[in-house]
């Protein structure tokens, strides 16, 4: 995978409080064996048995990633997260539940995805990304036209993209830019389709805090068209 120093391009923290001894050991010993193949030329390099391949970008505390992996043992999940403490939490979940269907990459998803071949993914989750609320920081938001184009390249026709946020102006921002790409169809038919959490969704700790604070969460589901 890319070896560039992603901190040069990535906004926000890459590391928080010091890792606990168990977490540090998992990062040193378990994480190296869970990365993507260094040279991915085909989908079979990741899923030789042709299982569905899902990706979560910015999995935070890994609550959703681990829950999806446990619920869907026949799916291979990739988690990408720049924040070391979040990666450590994911590793703890992988060990605790003896999960065999999760791959992890610590870094900038924008760089990592560039090395992946076309139409490799069946599903992508982007849940509660940093909204960068100040207008002068909007350029730092993950959902930009070029990034949406990259997702369209990677997601198979008929594959799914889910974006969730509790920030109203980022909800509108993401919806507009994803639909402007012409590669995705919004699946919502009525308000409850985006106001209510989908049946296959697993809440995150951040989501719980947002709801407790009275911020409505929105779930935008899209399908990659032909």
Assigned token pair, 76 = 């291979």
User: What's the per-residue H, E or C state across the chain?
Assistant: CCCCCHHHCCCCCCCCCCCCHHHHHHHHHCHHHHCCCCCCCCHHHCCCCCCCEEEEECCCCCHHHHHHHHHCCCCEEEEECCCHHHHHHHHHHHHHCCCCCEEEECCCHHHHHHCCCCCCEEEEEEECCCCCCCHHHHHHCCCCHHHHHHHHHHEEEEEEEEEEECCHHHHHHHHHHHHHCCCEEECCCCCHHHHCCCCCCCCCHHHHHHHHCCCCCEEEEEEECC
Neighbours of 53 (CB within 10 A): 22
| CB-based contact 124:178 (threshold 8 Å) | no
Are the C-beta atoms of 24 and 92 separated by less than 8 Å? no
Best CA proximity match to 160, nearest among 134, 141, 185: 185
Q: Identify the active-site residue in 39, 45, 98, 130.
A: 130
Known catalytic membership, residue 182: no
**Catalytic residue numbers?**
130
């Amino acid at each position: 995978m890319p070896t560039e120093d992603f901190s040069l391009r990535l906004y926000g923290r890459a590391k928080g409080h010091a890792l606990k001894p168990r977490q540090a050991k998992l990062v040193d010993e378990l994480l190296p064996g869970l990365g993507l193949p260094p040279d991915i030329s085909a989908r079979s390099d990741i899923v030789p048995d042709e299982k569905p391949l899902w990706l979560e970008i910015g999995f935070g505390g890994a609550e959703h990633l681990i829950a999806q992996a446990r619920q869907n043992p026949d799916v291979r999940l990739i988690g990408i997260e720049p924040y070391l403490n979040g990666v450590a939490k994911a590793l703890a979940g992988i060990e605790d539940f003896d999960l065999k269907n999760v791959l992890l990459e610590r870094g900038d998803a924008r760089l990592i995805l560039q090395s992946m071949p076309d139409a490799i993914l069946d599903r992508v989750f982007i849940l509660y990304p940093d909204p960068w609320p100040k207008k002068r920081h909007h350029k730092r938001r993950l959902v930009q036209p070029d990034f949406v184009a990259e997702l369209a390249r990677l997601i198979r026709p008929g594959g799914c993209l889910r974006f969730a946020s509790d920030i109203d102006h980022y909800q509108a921002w993401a919806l507009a830019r994803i639909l402007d790409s012409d590669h995705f169809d919004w699946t919502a038919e009525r308000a409850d389709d985006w106001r209510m959490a989908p049946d296959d969704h697993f809440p995150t700790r951040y989501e719980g805090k947002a709801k407790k604070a009275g911020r409505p969460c929105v779930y935008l589901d899209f399908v990659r068209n032909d």
